Structure 1
Amino acid sequence: SLHMERTTMDILEQIRANYGSFSRPRQRISDFILNYPEQCCFLSLRSFAQQVGTTEVTVLNFCRGLGLGSYMDLKKALQDYLIVRVNAGDRLKLAVAGSGSAQDLYQRVCRAEREALQSTLDGNSVELLLAFTQALRRARRIFIAAHDFSRFPAGYLEHRLLSLELDCCILDLQARQDMFRRLSAQPPQDGLLIAITVPPYGNDTIALTRYCASIGMPVAALTDRPDSPVARCAQTTLLCHVELMGMTNSFTSMVGLVDTLAMLYTFTSGAPTQEEKTCRDTLHRKFDSCFSDPNTSI
């Protein structure tokens, strides 16, 4: 089926595979996309139709014929294609290419970052965020899986969780035996895997998420869309708008979501008992004294 093709082919491969069965107008649309995929990422529906010399309705019918729900879905598929195949420096050049001046670019970036944060916070309900904090609270040990650029928000999440005195660590996806030992050190149901991934999705992050789901370890995900490969394995998923100006990713929205989670976790935590507080204060004093004077007796 066409849907099955979409899961295994990129958008340009899909267009090429169906090209022979297309009508003349659809072949003309295909030619434009195949020749200028970068340009298509930034064109409005009206501009695209004008460039090709066809109607907006014909373009929308073309999108639906590929199993895409809208013209925006076509642009997103092209962006996904370019993110995988064009290096980061060249993608930034493409992203800024349409700006008339530095002021124009500055305003575009500010608007994009604001809208990304707003849509992310609006798109995740308090109930969903609280479900995520409940998953954190139930876990005896929290593991974070992320690769490449996603390691940045992973590090920030780890910092926040450690400050909440949760037992968590970022897994080294390259050290597979070490990773296996860590995941096997407690019953699966006592752990929690938090998978963080955005396009291009990391194969190792996906594989690890599937493994944890298969052994019964709870999975939570921070990702960009409901059909993300890690979202399919997760009991709780928070979606973040990470695409910045069509050609690169920004984690502004994900960092904002992590801060919100930390605040809600704190808000829903009961106050420590006097015994717990006394014990913690004693440990802190002993810890500090060991570093302030090497000869201090414990």
Structure 2
Amino acid sequence: MSQTPQDFSSLEERITSDYPSLSRRLQQTARFLLDNPQEVAFATVAQLAQQAGVTPSTLIRFSNSFGFSGFSEMQQLFRARLFDELPNYNERIHAVRTATGETPDSTQLLWEFADANQEALSQLPNRINSQHLERALDIFEKARAIHIMGARRSFVVASYMSYALHHIEKPAFLVNGLGGMYSEQVKAIDHEDALLVVSFAPYAQESRNVAEEAHRRGIPLVVITDSNLSPLVPLADVALLVHEAEVKSFRGLTASLCLTQTLAIALGMRQDKALDRQRSSDDAGNA
């Protein structure tokens, strides 16, 4: 049994290679999907079925034939393609409006983003492995200092983590690549320190380079990412997986910020508990 495609390129190759063996209706569906990837990324099953001249069940059957549990799972690969090819927000907005024929008002958008982020937050505790969370805190507690790196969209999460760590008086350094000096900043990380890298698909090359260098040097590495298939997972001592909300090809950061806030405050509580133990020990010694 062939493996389910994990990205758009793999899916495109599978559709092309399997095309001769598909039924006439599925061939018609394949042609439409590959000829109109932008529309497929955003439109509903009903809209796409009408445009392709097939029934909605045909689209679902097509996605099942390539190993997907449903059409929406396959549609995610088409959306991921646009994340890579349309990094500019104006281009992405135009793509959404062109594909759906819709221009939602601001209140409607606010409700959509609020609902999606609320759902992502409600799922977060069940998605995070509690043992991995404690292991990440063990690494941070032991570290002399914590270095944090997040490029592009992930920079928001990394900068907040740096801010929070400073407020619990944990030495923290933001690996920001100022002047293009990512490599030099990584070289400054001591083996008694720890590194946190935050990166989501399509995984910034700068983040991958920093994680690879840290792994090569044996620096304790915690990553916050979005999938076990992330290239950062094999490099990490601990990987915390976050599923963010997505509305019309725009992904949020609410769950990731919640996770970093949890890490910082939980670390602060550990530090405070350690201080209490130290005070009790000192008092006992002075008695």
What is the TM-score with the length of structure 1 in the denominator?
0.77
Task: Provide the C-alpha distance between the structure 2 equivalents of 1:28 and 1:109, rounded to a whole number of angstroms.
Answer: 35
2:282 corresponding residue in structure 1: none
Contact 1:19–1:27, Cα closer than 8 Å, also in 2: yes
**1:122-271 to 2 correspondence within 5 Å?**
122-173=126-177, 174-183=180-189, 186-187=190-191, 190-269=192-271, 270=273
Q: What percent identity do the matched residue pairs reach?
A: 21
What is the CA RMSD across the aligned residues, in angstroms?
Answer: 3.1
Task: State the Cα distance separating 1:17 from its structure 2 match.
Answer: 5.2
TM, length-normalised to structure 2: 0.79
Change (3 A) 1:57 1:82: same
CA contact (8 A) 1:195 1:221 kept: yes
Q: CA deviation at 1:7?
A: 6.4
**Contact map agreement 1:10 1:81 (CA 8 A) in 2:** no
The residue aligned with 1:24 is 24
Contact 1:150 1:198 in 2 (8 A): yes
User: 8 Å contact 1:121–1:257 — kept in the other structure?
Assistant: no
Q: How far 1:233 moved relative to its partner?
A: 2.2
3-state SS of the aligned residue for 2:259?
A: helix
Q: Unaligned 5+ residue runs, structure 1?
A: 277-298
The answer for unaligned runs of 5 or more in structure 2 is 280-287
Give the residue type in structure 2 aligned to 1:112: A
- Residue equivalent to 1:89: 90
Deviation at 1:238, TM superposition (A): 1.9
Judging changes above 3 Å, is the alpha-carbon distance between structure 1 residues 107 and 275 closer, same or farther for their aligned structure 2 residues?
Answer: closer
Are 1:106 and 2:107 counterparts? Answer: no
Cα distance 1:27–1:274, how it changes in 2: closer, same or farther (>3 A)?
closer
1:56 positional shift? 5.1
1:275–1:267 distance in 2 versus 1, CA, 3 Å: closer
Q: Residue type of the partner of 1:42?
A: F
String of CA shifts for 1:245-279, please: whole Å, max 9, x gaps: 14122212211111122222223331525988xxx
Instruction: Give the Å deviation of 1:141.
Output: 2.9
Q: CA deviation at 1:196?
A: 0.8
User: Could you tell me how far 1:123 is from its partner in structure 2?
Assistant: 2.0
Deviation at 1:240, TM superposition (A): 2.1
Larger mean CA deviation between 11-20 and 68-77 belongs to 11-20
Q: Secondary structure of the equivalent of 1:199?
A: coil
Alignment equivalent of 1:272, drawn from 267, 271, 275? 275
Rounded to whole Å, the distance in 2 between the matches of 1:233 and 1:199 is 16
8 A contact 2:175–2:186 mirrored in 1:
no
> Alignment partner of 1:193: what SS?
strand
Q: What is the distance in 2 between the residues matched to 1:160 and 1:45? A: 43
**1:141·1:191 contact (CA, 8 Å) conserved in 2?**
yes
Secondary structure, counterpart of 2:228 in structure 1: coil
Alignment check: 8 A CA contact 2:6 2:77 kept? no
Taking the aligned partners of 2:105 and 2:182, their CA distance within structure 1 comes to 48
